[in-house]
Copies of this chain bind each other. A is one copy, B any other.
Amino acid sequence: MQDRPAQPPATADLRALALRIAATRRRSLELAQPLTAEDMTAQAMDDASPTKWHLAHTTWFFETFVLAPHLPGYRIFDPSFNYCFNSYYETQGPRQPRPRRGLMTRPSVARVMDYRAHVDEALSLLLTGGLEQQTLELVELGLQHEQQHQELILTDILALFAANPTRPAYRADGRVSAERPRTGSDTVGWIGFDGGIAEIGTNAGGFCWDNERPPHRVFLEPFRLADRLVSNGEWLAFIADGGYVNAELWLSDGWAMVNANDWRAPLYWEVRDGAWHHMTLAGLLPVDPTEPVSHISYYEAEAFARWAGARLPTEFEWEFAAKGVPVTGDGAALAPRAAGATNGQLRQMYGEVWQWTGSAYLPYPGYRAPAGAIGEYNGKFMVSQHVLRGSSCATPERHARATYRNFFYPHQRWQFTGLRLASEV
């Protein structure tokens, strides 16, 4: 979330903002387009949420934090929605327990669509009169928030369809990887960095979350980064070499998880006709060895790195290395893609899979959570999770940057999560 910048944005940008609002809101509906009302209502597991809930919750966010306080005369669409669609904001009162979001067959998808239209209209009205800086920032926050949930819509639908015995495809045309050149993708190059005092986080004019701030200095020893992500082919070698049965490779908690849950491969992998397949947004497909491995836990990433004689980068090394690397990805790929030929540069930094780092998710020095409900957005999750950097094939366009900090628990696997190796020089 954004601090108050010194200069308010020019009001001439309001029209551009209106277009962004419309595009972002429309994008959520596009993502839901291949889904039936039934698909949009079910909840794959406690960590995931129904598409309908995502569509309503993002709308509730605008209503609660932007419209209700800042648009005079705004009418709350339905007072019961605060209970239904509040996610975790203690300051906003009680809410439907997270594991029971999938039980809300009412309100219907149709009514949630009405809710969205009601709020869209009010947002248009809000912009008509010009905006104060604080309100502008809240609108921006709402847009960024909705984009985060666009990614979750995809990962949560994948979890749902993977739990379906018929393994349906979200979009049968969702796999674009085949079009990519694969030559040379097996060669890993290593890029060296000198380290020293690095500037981490940001204070720049554009939007950033509160957890990316304040900017501060860290000291880095020299390090190296692999120029591409770890591939499925390399993961198959890890499996073949006993990666999942050799205790010495694993953190103690990871080893307990492997055995308690009988992990033998990444999430969504299964053997069919004697060959590894994996569930994707395009349905069940053979595992392509050239594609980046995805849907692995931190434990698995960490064990793989040890097996490979390397380690995970810290989030600071990653950010330091990412300065100057152009951001790619538009959230339309639906699956991570092969690396393509080595080019002496860091490849696959964005737009394929989130990259586990060895860094725990903790506040930056001097971090203060913002006041009020918005302060619950990031700060209260700063324990027991690990930072992931980059962005994934499901991350919306313009929602990735070098300072972005994603975070999940070490056991979680349902996001598009992979890894890039690092090492000392």
Contacts and interface: CB of A to CB of B under 8 A. Distances in A.
B248 A165 contact: no
A394 to B, nearest CB: 20
Contacts of A83: 165
Contacts of A128: none
Given A106-B168, A165-B83, A166-B84, A383 B253 contact: yes
A273 interface: no
A316 to B, nearest CB: 10
Given A38-B105, A165-B84, A247 B90 contact: yes
Contact of A42 (B105, B197, B363): B105
A170 to B, nearest CB: 11
A338 to B, nearest CB: 30
B362 A106 contact: no
B102 A39 contact: no
Contact of A90 (B166, B248, B359): B248
Copies in the complex: 4
Interface in A35-55: 36-42, 44, 52
A108 B52 CA distance: 17
Nearest to A157: B105
Interface stretch (A117-125, A178-186, A214-222): A214-222
Interface string A74-108: 00000010011000101100001000101111111
Contacts of A38: 37-38, 40-41, 52, 105-106, 108-109
B384 A424 contact: no
A358 interface: yes
A60 interface: no
Interface size on A, as a range, is: 35 or more
Given A36-B37, A165-B83, A219-B218, A302 B107 contact: no
Most buried by B among A100, A161, A248, A410: A248
A18 B418 CA distance: 52
Contacts of A298: 383
Most buried by B among A105, A197, A221, A302: A105
Interface string A294-315: 0000110010000000010010
Contact of A103 (B40, B42, B250, B384): B42
Contact of A105 (B39, B80, B251): B39
A380 B107 CA distance: 40
A164 B358 contact: no
Contact of A365 (B105, B108, B221): B221
A38 B112 CA distance: 13
A253 B41 contact: no
A318 to B, nearest CB: 14
8 contacts: A36-B108, A38-B41, A38-B52, A38-B105, A80-B165, A90-B255, A250-B380, A253-B381
| Complex A-B, nearest 7 residue pairs according to Cβ-Cβ distance, in ascending order | A360-B360, A90-B247, A38-B105, A219-B219, A38-B41, A39-B105, A252-B380
Interface of A: 36-42, 44, 52, 80, 83-84, 88, 90-91, 96, 100, 102-109, 160-161, 163-166, 168, 197, 216-219, 221, 247-248, 250-255, 298-299, 302, 311, 314, 358-360, 362-363, 365-366, 380-384, 386, 410, 424
